[in-house]
Amino acid sequence: MFQVNENYAKLPGSYLFATIGRKVKAYQEAHPEKKIIRLGIGDVTQPLAPAIVTAMQEAAGEMGQAETFHGYPDYEGFAFLREAIVAGDYRARGVDIGMDEIFVNDGAKCDSADLGDIFSLRNKVAVCDPVYPVYVDSNALVGRSGDWLNDEGRWSNLIYMPCTAENGFAPEFPQEQPDMIYLCFPNNPTGATVTKDRLQEWVDYARKIGAVIIYDAAYEAYISEPDVPHTIYECEGAKECAIEMRSFSKNAGFTGVRLGFTVVPRELKCGDVSLNQLWLKHQEIKFNGVSYVIQKAGAAVYSPEGRAQTQEQVAYYMNNARVIREGLSAAGYTVSGGVNAPYIWLRTPKGMSSWEFFDYLLETANVVGTPGSGFGPHGEGYLRLTAFGSYENTLAAIERIKKL
């Protein structure tokens, strides 16, 4: 008799955003007349830039002609896209990354979850707390997170690195020694960042203890202040200890297009074993590349027109972030984030729990946030708001919250 993976039964509940989706749907069905404003899930609302639409339409046309048809894509991604990435995201910042270190994927979430596949199940994992749930849940599914301790609201075998108001929502080195460290800057969910000097300390720490850093830079495009690193490879020695994940979802509005990439440097090794070669093997066995049409859309992001148009979108969302930050501050709320990131991290008022405040906002203001406790124990007492709504909706949502 077949058995199922016993780790699924350990998961405490549904995936956070799926739970929110179901709650909002239930509320909307019960109150069809209410106009709900969603500042919860980090989904963009602006349409794709014209240069990207044109590129996709042309690519679709090419797929309809025998001379320009493309079959199975390369496992690593088409050369034209990897070249654009190397030039636009790395060489332009003085960082030397080779084409064969880039692995194109169908959205950073998949690789966030799948990168664990190439590591030993015995590795000890450290995560920020609060944290993007995919890192935790994907490790839980293979048993690496240990058991769920319901009373404590945490996994038994994870190292949690608290990110609190006291440390500016940037973690300190953990007391217990980790083998794998997930870091995300600019941070989801808190919107916090670290300086280049501080990130260099993390790289030095990882090299000293022999840990690998899995660095999520999905929100890099939102960095507005100097001295905030755009890639971990700005730090010396990072190619020997860090994998970097990037996404087109937030810098170019690709949440519904599905494109991202992962950098696995050649210098990153475990003894004689090259992690770059392990990941290539993983992709050859378990993946079959990304649609030609979608990769052409990605390349268009790096064209002069695409760049100008997508930067305009980022500026639009960052104006929303300012509206949220300033509006809620003026109304007496305690907020952080929203300067180098599209996320605002909001202290719940009157001692409400995260889910109490979520329900309260949904029911009284018809505004959807994301409960901070869904991101980890130290997220309790916070709510995440995103700047990805329309300007009009963002303004309306803040006005509604102000009136509560």
Residues 257-296 that bind a second copy (CB under 8 A): 257-258, 270, 273, 275, 278, 281-282, 284-294
- Per the document, the length of the chain is 404
The CA distances from residue 97 to 82, 105, 265, 340, 376, in Å, are 10, 17, 7, 24, 34
Residues between 209 and 268 that touch a second copy (CB under 8 A):
209-212, 255-258
Q: Which distant-in-sequence residues (6+ apart) come within 8 Å of 285 by Cβ?
A: none
Residues between 170 and 209 that touch a second copy (CB under 8 A):
179-180, 209
Q: How far is the CB of 62 from a second copy (least distance, A)?
A: 9
Task: Give the count of residues interacting with a second copy (CB under 8 A).
Answer: 85
Query: How far is it, in rounded angstroms, from Cα 329 to Cα 324?
Result: 8
Q: How far is the CB of 200 from a second copy (least distance, A)?
A: 20
| Residue number with CB closer to a second copy (49 or 184) | 49
Give the residue, chosen from 109, 230, 250, 384, that forms a contact with a second copy under the rule CB under 8 A. Answer: 109
The reply on whether position 393 binds a second copy by CB under 8 A is no
Give the residue, chosen from 119, 132, 215, 248, that forms a contact with a second copy under the rule CB under 8 A. Answer: 119
What is the SS3 assignment for 383? strand
Query: How far is it, in rounded angstroms, from Cα 324 to Cα 343?
Result: 10
- Options 68-76, 160-168, 197-205, 341-349: segment touching a second copy (CB under 8 A): 68-76
| Residue number with CB closer to a second copy (249 or 336) | 249
At 251, phi and psi to the nearest 5?
Answer: -80, -20
Q: 362 and 242 in contact (C-beta within 8 Å)? A: no
The reply on whether position 72 binds a second copy by CB under 8 A is yes
Residues between 1 and 60 that touch a second copy (CB under 8 A):
1-6, 8-9, 11, 14-15, 17-18, 41, 43-50, 52-53, 56-57, 60
Q: Which distant-in-sequence residues (6+ apart) come within 8 Å of 260 by Cβ?
A: 104, 105, 106, 107, 108, 109, 110, 111, 218, 245, 246, 247, 248, 249
- Residue carrying the six token digits 């018809």: 366
Q: How far is the CB of 118 from a second copy (least distance, A)?
A: 5
